[in-house]
């Protein structure tokens, strides 16, 4: 039930390309040139390749079952990696919402900065590098969220879980 005055969207609408968009109520948008006096431009504004990618992304994410599939794939990853850590005896928690997930070397998912700061950041770095050496890339900071791609198949997720299990075994 919220109607914003102005909405901004970044990376998500570009399908991996440099694209962002904003829009809002008529009285605000009328302030933007050429109708109004506020000039808006950018080096990549109107890039046709990025716009084409963005339009295709918007088409794909509106397909029936898109988010359910993305969530299921993310939950498959989180569940499998939690299980692999448990089998290796590693203190670890992974959690997710939708296609976003986080990996934490702690006995519970952090609820605030203090929880995150108390997690084992050195273990995360070891895990990160172990995955990277085996072809799995995450954000390099323990403080970063990660995101599932719709391109990831169940087989790729299973392969990632197996690689994580191998890294955990080396950390135990």
Higher pLDDT, 45 or 83: 83
Residue 12 has pLDDT above 80, yes or no: no
Rounded CA Rg of the chain? 20
Is residue 40 scored above 90 in pLDDT? no
| Tens digits of residue pLDDT in 123-165 | 999 999 999 999 999 999 999 999 999 999 999 999 999 999 9
Which H or E run includes 94? strand 93-97
What pLDDT sits at residue 86?
Answer: 98
Residue 131 corresponds to which tokens in the numbers above?
A: 């995955």
The 3 state secondary structure assigned to the chain is CCCCCEEEECHHHHCCCCCCEEEECHHHHCCECCCCCECCCCCCCCCHHHHHHHHHHHHHHCCCCHHHHHHHHHHHHHHHHHHHHHHHCCCCEEEEECCEEEEECCCCCCCCHHHHHHCCHHHHHHHHHHHHHCCCCCCCCCCCCEECCCCCCHHHHHHHHHHHHHHHHHHC
pLDDT of 41 > 90? The answer is: no
pLDDT class of 10 with cuts at 50, 70, 90: confident
Task: Map out the domains of the chain as residue ranges.
Answer: 6-61, 66-171
| Architecture of the domain defined by 66-171 | Alpha-Beta Complex (3.90)
Question: H or E segment at 7?
Answer: strand 6-9
pLDDT of 11 reads 79
pTM for the whole structure: 0.83
Cis, bond preceding 104 (omega within 30 deg of 0): no
Given this model, what pLDDT does residue 52 score?
93
Q: pLDDT class for 28, splitting at 50, 70, 90?
A: very high
pLDDT in tens, 90-134: 999 999 999 999 999 999 999 999 999 999 999 999 999 999 999
State what percent of residues in the chain have pLDDT above 90. Answer: 84
Q: What is the mean pLDDT of residues 64-70?
A: 97
Q: How many CA atoms lie within 13 A of 159 on its CB side?
A: 8
């Amino acid at each position: 039930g919220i109607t914003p005055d102005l909405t901004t969207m970044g990376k998500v609408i570009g399908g991996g390309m440099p694209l962002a968009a904003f829009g809002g109520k008529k009285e605000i948008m009328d302030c933007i040139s050429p109708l109004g006096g506020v000039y808006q431009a950018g080096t990549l504004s109107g890039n046709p390749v990025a716009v084409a990618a963005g339009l295709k992304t918007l088409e794909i994410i509106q397909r029936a079952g898109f988010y359910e599939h993305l969530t299921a794939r993310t939950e498959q990853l989180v569940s499998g990696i939690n299980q692999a850590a448990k089998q290796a005896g590693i203190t670890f928690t992974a959690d997710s919402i939708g296609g976003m997930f986080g990996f934490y070397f702690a006995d519970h998912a952090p609820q605030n900065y203090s929880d995150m700061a108390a997690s084992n950041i050195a273990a995360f770095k070891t895990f990160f590098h172990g995955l990277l050496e085996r072809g799995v890339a995450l954000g390099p900071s323990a403080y970063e969220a990660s995101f599932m791609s719709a391109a990831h198949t169940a087989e790729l997720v299973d392969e990632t879980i197996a690689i994580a299990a191998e890294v955990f075994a080396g950390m135990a």
